[in-house]
Amino acid sequence: MYDLAIIGSGWAGVNAALKAKELGLNPVIIEKSNLGGACLNQGCIPTKSLIQSAKIYTLAQKSSAFGIDNSGVLSVNLPQIQARKEKIIRQLRQGLEFMLKGVKIIYAPAEFISVDTLKAGSDEIQAKAILIASGSVPLELKSLKFDNNKVVSSNEILNLKELPASILIIGAGVIGCEFASLFSNLGVRVKLVELTPQVLPEYDLDVANRIKGLLEKKGVEINTSTNAADINLQNFDLVLVCIGRIPMTAGLGVEKVGVILEGGRIKVDQYLKTNIPNIYAAGDCIGQAMLAHYAAYQGKCLAVNLASANELKKAVSSNIPSCVFTDPEIASTGLSEEGARKAGFEVKIYKRDFISSGMAKILSETDGFMKIISDKKSGKLLGSSIVGPRATELISILVLAIDNNLTVNQLRGKIFPHPTLSELITETLMG
């Protein structure tokens, strides 16, 4: 009997297995497809690989501004871009296999037989604890089904053989904005539609307004408060539907053993425990923040709790960084301005544009701003939103500052190197 059986090898499952192994437990992973889950195979890694290729293309186009002769003809070689993406995925998957050496991996669909037994292909796996880390899948519009031809999800679009002349993107959340930025950088005509009044509906309004303007500057046509049913699809070569993702629980047989679902999500407590004492769930399938790094955090917490049941660690956090790999990038953590006001804080806002940054000028990437929210009374840092170059790296500094309850005075008193993008943090806090 295993100490822990894990359904799914995404970031929650892999990190749970690695931590369990480190702590002396005996885990087994059951994976129906490829190691690495959606993040490695259909999400984070492949999309960012494509985005980076598009970024290099735009940099090459403006290289004359850096004194580089770009009089030659620039072109996009999509097969080479795709080959690079696949190579990165393959290398990272091999890295995971090496890290998981000594952990049993069974490649088969998993299904509950009882509360402590799983069917995995022809095997029956018994475990003291079972972690459901089955991930999520793209949400489909009832009126516009995926046909894997003209109407595609964020999965199929990663494997395009050629660039479309035009694309309609339905949904201006994180995925929609990333693909709008990607395809516009590659010269594709892009129309982005969103049912709600703003792009990136869950983000700070200042962020949403700025990225909307920057995408429009790239030539993206954006229509908010718009129903996709009102759009003539015949005007576009390709339609990408990215209106969200839903937990993947079908076929697992969780209902047979009495695991409670809420709206398709697996219901868990703050320790990731379901209503069945030895069955846990983590990552996208519990329908909280669908972020790979949060899933990884949850997986590690679960393994720690199994190894030391007397000192349980809560697998929850109010300071989860969120990143959007548009061009320029977007990142946020902690409370937004609106969230801080709703929580009852009297807020003080610090804001500064990247155009004032020496390094941003050197990089020729001056679009965007840094916004830091604090409690006016105590000076305690509450949250931050960044639009600009390397925003997804810079936000980690704010994550650490907020987690350690730093005040404005404490952070702005730190010495950051010059010239760097990071020094804009302390400059922003100068007021």
Residues taking part in catalysis: 418
Peptide bond into 419 cis (omega under 30): yes
Of the candidates 415, 328, 414, 392, the residue with the CA atom closest to the CA atom of residue 58: 328
**Residue 56: helix, strand or coil by DSSP?**
helix
Residues for the chain: how many in total? 431
**β-strand partners of 334:** 383
How far is 362 from 424, CA to CA, in rounded Å?
Answer: 14
Determine contact, residues 351/371, Cβ cutoff 8 Å: yes
Residue among 122, 139, 50 nearest 88 (CA): 50
CB-neighbour burial class of residue 290 (10 A; exposed 0-12, middle 13-18, buried 19+): buried
User: Cβ(4)–Cβ(28) under 8 Å?
Assistant: yes
Q: Which residues, 6+ apart, have CB-to-CB distance to 230 below 8 Å? A: none
Provide the terminal-to-terminal Cα distance of the chain, rounded to the nearest Å. 60
Question: Do residues 31 and 106 touch, judged by C-beta distance below 8 A?
Answer: yes
